[in-house]
Amino acid sequence: MAGAPATTAAAVVPSLPALRDGGVGGRGCWEDGAISLGLVAVQLAGAAYMVVVTPVLALGLDPLFLVAFGSLTTGLLTLPFALKVERKKWPSELNNRLLLQFVLLALGGVTGFQALMLHGMNMTSPAIASAMPNLAPGFIFVISGCLGFERVDLKCRYTKAKILGTVLCLGGAVAMSVLQSPAVPPGHALHRSMDRAAVARPHRDWVVGCLCLLGAVLVLSGTIVLQAVTMLHFPSPFTLCSVTSLIGAVLTAAFQVVTTGRLSLGTPQISLEIVLSLVLVGGLVSSACITFQTWALEKKGPVMVSMFSPTQTVGSAIFSTIFLGRVMQTGSMLGMVFLFSGLYVVLWAKKKEGQVLAADRMATDQQDNDDDMEKPLLFRD
């Protein structure tokens, strides 16, 4: 969700067996239904927020200001959950390595990812912006495979499936970006004259926006891998979310001061009260979504939660059509289908691979510690 930490607590909770409560009896059915409806609501809330933020950014609001105060709000609202649920899990002292990881997570997951995402969304559309993060599982597979965290066996059909899914995701994203023409407002100079600069400007902005979104997903993927490493020694997702949000807010504000000379809204045509209200509502919604997703991850694991992520893209496309007058073109929708197909292929392969590994561990009655690194690397906010 824009204005809130992308690498949230829900993004890094290790997958837990979804066998404790689900599937048996009426309670399991009701719980499954409630979780499914809740996950749909979480994604639609993110879609609605992106659509609301888009016209505000178009009026001149500085994305860095929104990231700084949105992250500050989310960090403060998530802190009570961290104190209530995870205080006993905190280490007795923080070493320099853990502090460095916090700073890098904040720099990547808060400042870098959100600034690029908001800037890219402002130059493209909410639908494109909400679709791009679905590339993350494929990129995470590539990054973790290169670092040795992910098992890569070209003879294994699940590895082949993950590679195929990654290629489908990337191809779908490229097609979606290339085949979607930039929207030109009715009052744009393009409608008043045939000036070449006016014709080229929207297309140039669209390309730059898509590159910003792609860069945001690369930053997100690397950050989630780092989160997985951090969570091995600091298994407190709410605390991690709150701390990195607060650090990210400070870093983002400092970056705006250094680059612009002051901490300001930019040059918006709206009042400070409206912006702060937007930030507060976004922080409240984000905190509620983080809490629910964390609970759902504990109950059902990351694969099920990840299955609902395309709902945000669909919601963004529908809301953008209704409220912003933006329509997804046929070619771009086809690219989106390839992207989502690749996402589900990767998730399917990871789930099957996890089941095989679990069966092997049960057969040998040994705990494979090397697999611990893979568990948190599937889900993104």
The residue among 1, 321, 291 whose CA lies nearest residue 133 is: 1
The phi, psi pair for 272, rounded to 5°, reads: -65, -35
The residue among 352, 350, 349, 340 whose CA lies nearest residue 376 is: 350
Instruction: Quote the CA–CA distance of 162 and 43 in Å, as a whole number.
Output: 24
Residue appearing with tokens 């289908």: 337
Reading the block at residue 181, the tokens are: 């023409």
Sign of CA dihedral 40, 144, 118, 338: negative
Instruction: Quote the CA–CA distance of 210 and 112 in Å, as a whole number.
Output: 15
Report the interhelical angle of 96-105 vs 196-233 (nearest 10°).
Answer: 150
Instruction: Quote the CA–CA distance of 88 and 82 in Å, as a whole number.
Output: 10
Secondary structure (DSSP) of 135-178: GHHHHHHHHHHHHT-S---TTSHHHHHHHHHHHHHHHHHHHHHH
Residue appearing with tokens 């400042």: 111
- Per-residue pLDDT of 256-265, as tens digits, reads 999 988 888 8
- Count Cβ atoms within 10 A of the Cβ of residue 247 and give its class: 0-12 exposed, 13-18 middle, 19 or more buried: buried
- Partners of 266 in beta bridges: 61
Q: Is 195 left (phi over 0), alpha (psi -120 to 50) or beta?
A: beta
- Per-residue pLDDT of 301-319, as tens digits, reads 777 788 888 889 889 988 9
Instruction: Quote the CA–CA distance of 342 and 55 in Å, as a whole number.
Output: 31
**CA distance to 248, 352, 353, 363, 366, per residue, from 359 (Å):** 41, 11, 10, 6, 11
Strands of the chain, DSSP E: none
List, for the chain, all residue ranges whose pLDDT scores fall below the cut of 70: 1-28, 181-201, 365-381
Instruction: Give, in degrees to the nearest 5, the angle at Cα 353 between 357 and 166.
Output: 150
pLDDT, position 19: 32
Reading the block at residue 306, the tokens are: 């990840």
pTM: 0.80
- Per-residue pLDDT of 18-54, as tens digits, reads 333 344 445 567 888 888 899 999 999 999 999 999 9
Average pLDDT, the chain: 81
Sign of CA dihedral 216, 2, 43, 323: negative
Instruction: Quote the CA–CA distance of 22 and 24 in Å, as a whole number.
Output: 6
The phi, psi pair for 52, rounded to 5°, reads: -70, -40
Instruction: Give, in degrees to the nearest 5, the angle at Cα 315 between 380 and 53.
Output: 80
Alpha carbon 345 to chain centroid, angstroms? 19
- Partners of 317 in beta bridges: none
- Per-residue pLDDT of 215-244, as tens digits, reads 999 999 999 889 888 988 888 889 999 999
pLDDT, position 181: 61
Q: Which residues of 251-281 are buried (b: 16+ CB within 10 A; e: fewer)?
A: bbbebbeeeeeeeebbebeeeeeebeebbee
